[in-house]
Amino acid sequence: MSDKNIKLETSAQNTWCPGCGNFAILAALKGVVAEMIKKGTPKEEIVLVSGIGCSSKIIDYINLNSFSSLHGRPVISAQGIKMANPKLKVIVFIGDGGCYNEGIAHLIHAAKRNTDLTVLVHNNRNFALTTSQFTATSPKGFKGKSTPQGSIEESFNPLSLMFSLRASFIARGYSMKINHLQDLIKKGAKHKGFSFIEILQPCITFFDTTDFYNQRVYEMKKGDLKSDQEIIKKIKEWDYEDNNSKIPLGIFYQRKRPVYEEELLKK
Amino acid sequence: MIKKDFSILIGGRAGEGSRKAGLIIAKLFAELGYKIFIYDDYQSLIRGGHSFSHLRASDKKVLSHRKKLDFLLGLNEEVIKKHQKKLDKKGIIIHDSMAKKAVEEVKGKPMMENTAIIAIFAKNIGIEWKILEKVLKQEFKKFQKLNLKVAQKAFDKAEILFKIKRLNKKVFPLITGNEALALGAVKAGLKLYLAYPMTPATGILHYLAKNKDKFKVVVSQLENEVGIVNAAVGAAYAGTRTMVGTSGGGFALMTEGFSLAAQSENPLVIVESQRMSPGSGVPTYQAQGDLSFVLSAGHGDIVSFVIAPGDAEESCFWGGKILNLAWKYQTPSILLIDKEISESTFSFDKDILKKINCERPLLWDKKGRYLRYQDTKNGISPMAFPGDKNVISKSNSYEHDEFGLTIEDEENTEKMQNKRLRKFKEMEKEVDRLESVKVYGNKKSKKAIICWGSTKGPAKEAAERLGFKMVQPIILQPFPEKKVKQALKGVKKIALVETNALGQMEKLLNSYGIRIDKKVLKYDARPFLPEEIEKKLSKF
């Protein structure tokens, strides 16, 4: 099957803001699934799972199996799908609000279990579709409609949380670095186990962090991180606040661990 | 006349083994052909306190315990003090002091007092040693020899008070309602059971986990009830027959996923075993207080199946049927039981399993392009699953078009609502075809008791003694209006019996124009006893 024969488009009209980082994520994703299909993964065995919010609209724009869950629930819905049929290749799309606010328990337990999922967190660091309120990764002082004087909560570092759980694949990408991102998604999808890929994504309408990120992001080199200490240091290099530290991109951690559904279904 | 209906209470502190002793006594009776019912009363603690098994053995099928005691067996004196007033005039007390002596004489372990007390009881009612020995051998695999020694000693020392009649009847196995419903679901093709522990539904989780290989069921405990329900909907989307179990508080958390299942048309079966609420309530005790809640569960326009079986055999049958219905209509469904059914022990007639099959849902004919939400005449769209060849299956929590893409326009929104409305109509028709209402007692009586769920047991006995008719709707949603009205034909006075404080069933009946003349309610977190209902309706 050649690339041209894989029709991934649907008839759905795209409703993202013009210039939204989601377009880049969609393009990167299409590149990854087209290659997966080309290399022999049957199209019908790929399942995309999403929740609610701008990020979650992505499943309407790709002609593949999909399950639209509820706000905060795609990670656990995806685990149900994997328990039912571990052969399926499941990719989850979730925003920072759904992942780190509403559904954080599911993220923690999925990482702990090492369910074989690829989770893409579209982190624009605010609830955008509800016209902008702060989320768990909005910087302190974030001025949204629920915090007109600035959020009084400090943000948290999801990568630290994932590393404390030994999530078996931890990476960070940036929506403006599409080739790098595509490579991360490809590696995450290939990884057997729980792949956590956070995607920094400017919200061009409500929280445009494009310049902020462009000045700070850099790609880590392969093999840079050898010890736990080095991994933690890199993860903590940027603490999700508005400071001047650099922001590393790439794979922070990867290791093999028994996969939950394989253990569960073992005879 | 020879007595054929016995009421026995055995109690002790939690951890002393009164539950096990009650079960062994029940098995002795079962060996003699008696039918059994055991009510287990225990507190929310691990050691100490006061717990007891109140059992009934009868030549007829019994579904509740009786107030008056023929035998009171205490693993400590407190038990005797607490329950003595329930003892019948001819009732017999067996004290732990008698048991203690037997244990000491053969140097048994203090834990074995319950073995001794069983042996004394067996001798008292004239059960032969070889029957006792057989049952004890089955029940005690650990320290079997020592237990038998203790039993032999106690048996020899005790006297025969009368000779119980052996009935020439089939010996039925004893199982709990939780186990019965699990068996039914397995027979109907259950493949995945997901749960978060919550009394009184936890027994289902334990039973299926213990027997997962035998039943070929995958069992998983996940982070919370929100997770459970959402994983279950995901699993159903991927084609796996799934069931989840919880009580009222857990169900409250599941209503979000319940609504998702309705909108995305994924089959979902939730076992809701009620206990005394609101809040944490009286967690290990009985109530039927979640009826109004489950009938209206889930945001949006939803008609789900709500089925309330009244005993172990009905739980088994409907535990299987509800799985088939959920898949046939691609709908969320609730099996509504309670502590009294979940944790009580019943004589179980396995023949009921023959009536349960794994019914094939409507599947895609593999022609043309697959449409997950195809707009069919009866509103039911054929199913296909991810992984099936040439299938793109798009399940959607948003309103969607036939393919499954999100829509917001008025024309398509109404069209899809209409599709689901037609499906709800089909569900109503299905209820008319099923045995959704049962009638007992004096069918010609102008007075009727209406009850539902576990109240069936005591209400049926009361109705029979009072000469009333008894009507038990089993399917509560869609409500079997025609069948209930048919059952009430010629009835002039209706009494409603249920274990909640508001009389929640009345609201449901009223909405179909059925008026209640008297409500008999119980809300002390204990099940109804037949005598209580009889007394309250003696002047009705």
User: Model confidence over A193-203: pLDDT tens digits?
Assistant: 999 999 999 99
| Residue A64 lies inside a defined structural domain of this protein | yes
Task: Tell which wins on pLDDT, B334 or B47.
Answer: B334
The DSSP letter of residue B142 is: T
pLDDT the model gives residue A5? 58
pLDDT over 90 at B191, yes or no: yes
Two structure tokens written together for B250: 């857990």
Q: If you classify domain B5-157 with CATH, what class do you get?
A: alpha beta
pLDDT over 70 at A149, yes or no: yes
CA atoms of B500 and B512, how far apart (whole Å): 21
Query: Does residue A10 belong to the interface with chain B, where contact is any CB pair within 8 Å?
Result: yes
Partners of B447 in the β-ladder: B493
pLDDT over 70 at B266, yes or no: yes
pLDDT over 50 at B420, yes or no: yes
Per residue in B132-151, pLDDT (tens digit) is: 999 999 999 999 999 999 99
Per residue in B332-358, pLDDT (tens digit) is: 999 999 999 999 999 999 999 999 999
Q: What is the mean pLDDT of residues A206-220?
A: 96
For A150, phi and psi rounded to 5 degrees?
105, 135
Cβ partners under 8 Å of residue B488, min gap 6: B448, B471, B494, B514
pLDDT the model gives residue A117? 98
pLDDT the model gives residue A159? 98
| Residue A9 lies inside a defined structural domain of this protein | no
Q: What is the mean pLDDT of residues A120-125?
A: 97
**Cβ contacts of B386 on chain A, cutoff 8 Å:** 44-45, 47, 65, 81, 85, 88
Which residue blocks in B467-503 are alpha helix, DSSP H? 481-487
Counting DSSP H helices and E strands in chain B, the numbers are 19, 20
| Residue A165 lies inside a defined structural domain of this protein | yes
CA atoms of B299 and B406, how far apart (whole Å): 19
Q: With a threshold of 0.85, tell me whether the complex ipTM lies above it.
A: yes
| Residue A173 lies inside a defined structural domain of this protein | yes
Residue B15's pLDDT band, with cuts at 50, 70 and 90, is confident
pLDDT over 60 at A2, yes or no: no
| Residue A136 lies inside a defined structural domain of this protein | yes
Per the prediction, chain B carries an average pLDDT of 96
Task: Tell which wins on pLDDT, B14 or B261.
Answer: B261
User: In this structure, is the dihedral angle defined by the CA atoms of residues B284, B287, B289 and B295, taken in order, positive or negative?
Assistant: positive
Residue B1's pLDDT band, with cuts at 50, 70 and 90, is low
pLDDT the model gives residue A146? 96
| Residue A71 lies inside a defined structural domain of this protein | yes
Min distance A28 CA to chain B CA atoms (Å)? 21
Q: What is the mean pLDDT of residues A172-186?
A: 98
| Residue A117 lies inside a defined structural domain of this protein | yes
Is residue A133 a contact partner of residue A127, using CB atoms and an 8 Å limit? Answer: yes
Greatest CA separation for chain B: 85
Q: What is the mean pLDDT of residues A135-162?
A: 96
Per the prediction, chain A carries an average pLDDT of 95
Contacts 24+ apart (CB under 8 A), A3-11: A3/A34, A3/A38, A6/A34, A6/A37, A6/A38, A6/A43, A7/A63, A8/A33, A8/A34, A8/A62, A8/A63, A8/A64, A9/A61, A9/A62, A9/A63, A10/A60, A10/A61, A10/A62, A10/A63, A10/B403, A10/B405, A11/B405
Q: DSSP of A157-222, one letter per residue?
A: -HHHHHHHTT-SEEEEEETT-HHHHHHHHHHHHHSSS-EEEEEE--BTTTB--HHHHHHHEEEPPT
CB < 8 Å from A in window 384-403 of B: 385-398, 403
CA atoms of B313 and A169, how far apart (whole Å): 49
| Residue A5 lies inside a defined structural domain of this protein | no
Return the axis-axis angle of helices B410-433 and B312-329, rounded to nearest 10°: 150
For B55, phi and psi rounded to 5 degrees?
-115, 160
Q: Residue A178 CB: number of other CB atoms within 10 A?
A: 17
Per residue in B79-99, pLDDT (tens digit) is: 999 999 999 999 999 999 999
Min distance B322 CA to chain A CA atoms (Å)? 20
Nearest in space to A72 (alpha carbons), one of A90, A95, A54? A95
Task: Considering only CA atoms, give the Rg of chain A.
Answer: 18
The count of domains in chain A is 1
Share of chain A above pLDDT 70, in %: 98
pLDDT over 90 at B528, yes or no: yes
Domain of residue A165, CATH code: 3.40.50.970
- Residue B140 amino acid letter: F
For B332, phi and psi rounded to 5 degrees?
-70, 145
pLDDT over 80 at A223, yes or no: no
Query: How do the domains of chain B map onto residue ranges?
Result: 5-157, 174-355, 437-536
Interface probe for B, chosen from A1, A58, A67 (most Cβ of B below 10 Å), is A67
pLDDT over 70 at A77, yes or no: yes
**Cβ contacts of A13 on chain B, cutoff 8 Å:** none
Residue B82: is it exposed, middle or buried by C-beta count within 10 angstroms (0-12/13-18/19+)?
Answer: middle
State which CATH number among 3.40.50.2300, 3.90.1150.10, 3.40.462.10, 3.40.50.970 fits the domain covering B174-355. Answer: 3.40.50.970
Fold match flag (B174-355 vs B437-536): yes
pLDDT over 60 at A108, yes or no: yes
CA B358 from chain centre, in angstroms, equals: 21
Decide if A267 and B218 are in contact by the 8 Å CB cutoff: no
pLDDT over 60 at B245, yes or no: yes
A79, A87, A88 member nearest B231 (Cβ): A79
Interface probe for B, chosen from A81, A102, A107 (most Cβ of B below 10 Å), is A81
Query: Does residue A76 belong to the interface with chain B, where contact is any CB pair within 8 Å?
Result: yes
Distances (CA, A) of B468 to B475, B503, B529: 22, 20, 17
Which domain, by its residues, includes A180?
A: 30-264
Q: What is the mean pLDDT of residues B240-263?
A: 98
For A2, phi and psi rounded to 5 degrees?
-90, 165
Query: Does residue B502 belong to the interface with chain A, where contact is any CB pair within 8 Å?
Result: no
Q: What is the mean pLDDT of residues B308-332?
A: 98
> CATH classification of B437-536 is 1.10.10.60, yes or no?
no
